[in-house]
Amino acid sequence: MAVKKIGRQTIKFSSPPSILTTASIVGPKEGQGPLADYYDEVLEDDLFGEDSWEMAESKLLKEAVTIAISKGKLKIPDIDFMIGGDLLNQLISTTFAARDLELPLYGLYGACSTFTEAISIGAVLLDGGFADKVIATTSSHFSTAERQFRYPLELGNQRSLTSQWTVTGSGAALLTSSGNGPVVTYSTIGKVVDLGITDVNNMGAAMAPAAANTIATHLTDTGRGPEDYDLIITGDLGKYGRDIAVELMKKEGFRIVKNFTDCGIEIFDDKKQDTHAGGSGCGCSAVVFCGFLYRQLILKKIKKLLLVSTGALFSPTSFQQGESIPGIAHAIAVEMKGN
Amino acid sequence: MARRMKTQEKKEFQKLVDSNNPKPNLLLNCFWAFSVGGLICIVGQFLHNTIESVFKLSHLESTNVTTLIMIFIGAFLTGIGVYDKIGKVAGAGSIVPITGFANSVVSPAMEFKREGFIFGVAAKMFSIAGPVLVYGITTSVIVGIVYYFIR
């Protein structure tokens, strides 16, 4: 019997796994953003000494994993499983990093929702007694995403006002079955929701229904209210997607405005950095959580956090064949015990 | 029934998205497109007039030389990373002139250089300009045939 599942889509961990350490590493543009002080490392050159953007992204992910493990005073072979993903075809950033790290790998694709998906699976492994230490990680890189999904960097086109800026960065979280860090108490697995958005420059709108659905389901399943959380933060809806999600949740009967924001909004200063609707990418929620949010949890400035990474399951193939862009969002509740 | 409800829901959602979307500043965008596009055309016309009078070429010959020079300028500015910055401000103003066409060929060629000269540069070079070439040439052939018969 599924004793740890509650409601429609939520897992309640009976011995909540702890997030022992986190590490975040970002590109130069993110390093000029408002959360700059919280990253472990800011690159001066987003090629990171590699020959290609793809290998640079892979190195970012490998570095984040290595830093998180060393912060926990552990060695790489101490880790049972690595769980991660990125945006690139065949998950090349993750797989090439895992090849070098020689860790058993669960490779995930959930577009930009992958970070919470990885934490969720990691927590399931720990709570189920299948592992003691796992590392959950994701990465994204502006230049790899542009060339795979959009246009060449030097093409002289205009970005739409609702478009978002893919974050260059990687975050890694080391989860352990016991420890003093913040704990993962609930995980709500999202459904794929598609309300027919066909505008590739408006991913926020494509993902907002999934985010609203997952948050509403999480609150219904757990019997919690929005006010039970100090902060509810989505992954990369951007400022227009956030507003749409607020409207949709209102229809579901949840008024969530005050303690609700988005990692994509927080990571860049839109006015100074010209990022339009905000940041996006697998790395967005990963570096915001592993940098800024984790610190807030440790300092107990935030005690109950709902992190909802959001992914637009966009494929150039299906899009060119006339399909709309489905969205998905996974939520994890992270809590810091004590006063 | 369920499907119809879904369509209704999608329609309502699209309405919500449309009302929430920011409105681009059309007047300002038109101004920049007109100014930069106009400036590129002035440069082209100036080159054309100069070539025509200095090198004593015919009108058609100097048109060809001007085109070559403008394509070079577009490709050069792309190579040194300037054309995308112009395009960000000018939009259609720098996409429509032939310099924009050069940009659309050179930028993917640069981007995919790491995939090698055959599968990267050569194969991807026309990924953006390709459709324009296909339909441009096709249209010119059709117009040519029509012109031949009604002349």
ipTM score of the complex?
0.89
Regarding whether A92 and A75 lie in a shared domain, the answer is yes
pLDDT in tens, A289-309: 999 999 999 999 999 999 999
Residues A207 and A123 in one domain: no
Chain-chain contact of A159 with B114 (C-beta, under 8 angstroms): no
* A198 and A168 housed in the same domain: no
**Does A156 lie at the interface with B, CB-CB under 8 angstroms?**
yes
Percent of chain A at pLDDT above 70? 100
Q: Which of B13, B14, B84 sits opposite A155 (nearest CB)?
A: B84
Statement to judge: residues A51 and A150 lie in one domain: yes
| Secondary-structure percent of chain B, ordered helix, strand, coil, rounded to 5 | 85, 0, 15
Domain boundary among A176, A200, A227: A176
Measured over the CA atoms of residue A282, residue A66, residue A29 and residue A35, the dihedral's sign is: positive
Same domain for A198 and A82, yes or no, is no
CA pair distance B120, B108, nearest whole angstrom: 9
Q: Nearest-CA distance from A208 to chain B in Å?
A: 10
B7 is a domain residue? no
Q: Give the helix ranges, DSSP H, for chain A.
A: 28-31, 53-71, 92-101, 114-127, 142-149, 203-222, 238-251, 263-267, 270-273, 282-288, 294-298, 316-320
Do A217 and A310 lie in one domain? The reply is: yes
pLDDT of residue A1: 77
What pLDDT shows up at residue B5? 64
Mean pLDDT of A143-151: 94
Torsion angle defined by CA atoms of residues B89, B92, B94 and B97, in that order, rounded to the nearest 10 degrees:
-170
pLDDT at B1: 44
Residue A179 banded pLDDT, cuts 50, 70, 90: confident
Same domain, A17 and A100: yes
Which of A159, A176, A193 terminates a domain? The answer is A176
Q: Are residues A214 and A150 in the same domain?
A: no
Residues A92 and A236 in one domain: no
Are A205 and A87 in the same domain?
Answer: no
- Whether residue B6 lies inside any domain: the answer is no
User: Could you tell me the pLDDT band of residue A282, with boundaries at 50, 70 and 90?
Assistant: very high
- Cα(B132)–Cα(A9) distance, integer angstroms: 48
In a domain, B17, yes or no: no
Total number of domains constituting chain A: 2
What domain range includes position B49?
A: 27-150
Choose among A152, A158, A205: nearest Cβ to B17: A205
Q: Same structural domain for residues A17 and A146? A: yes
pLDDT digits (tens, 9 = 90+) for A197-242: 999 999 999 999 999 999 999 999 999 999 999 999 999 999 999 9
Which of A128, A160, A176 is the C-terminal boundary of a domain?
Answer: A176
How far is the alpha carbon of A240 from chain B, nearest alpha carbon, in Å?
A: 7
**Number of domains comprising chain B:** 1
- Tens digit of pLDDT per residue, chain B (151 long)? 455 667 888 999 999 999 999 998 999 999 999 999 999 999 999 999 999 999 999 999 999 999 999 999 999 999 999 999 999 999 999 999 999 999 999 999 999 999 999 999 999 999 999 999 999 999 999 999 999 999 8
Q: List the CATH number of the domain containing A219.
A: 3.40.47.40
Please report whether residue B65 resides in a domain. yes
Average pLDDT (A103-128) is 97
Rounded to 10 degrees, what is the CA torsion of B101, B103, B109, B112? -120
Task: Note the pLDDT tens digit of each residue in B76-114.
Answer: 999 999 999 999 999 999 999 999 999 999 999 999 999
Are residues A169 and A206 located together in one domain of the fold? no
Whether B16 is covered by a domain: the verdict is no
Range of the domain at A192: 183-335
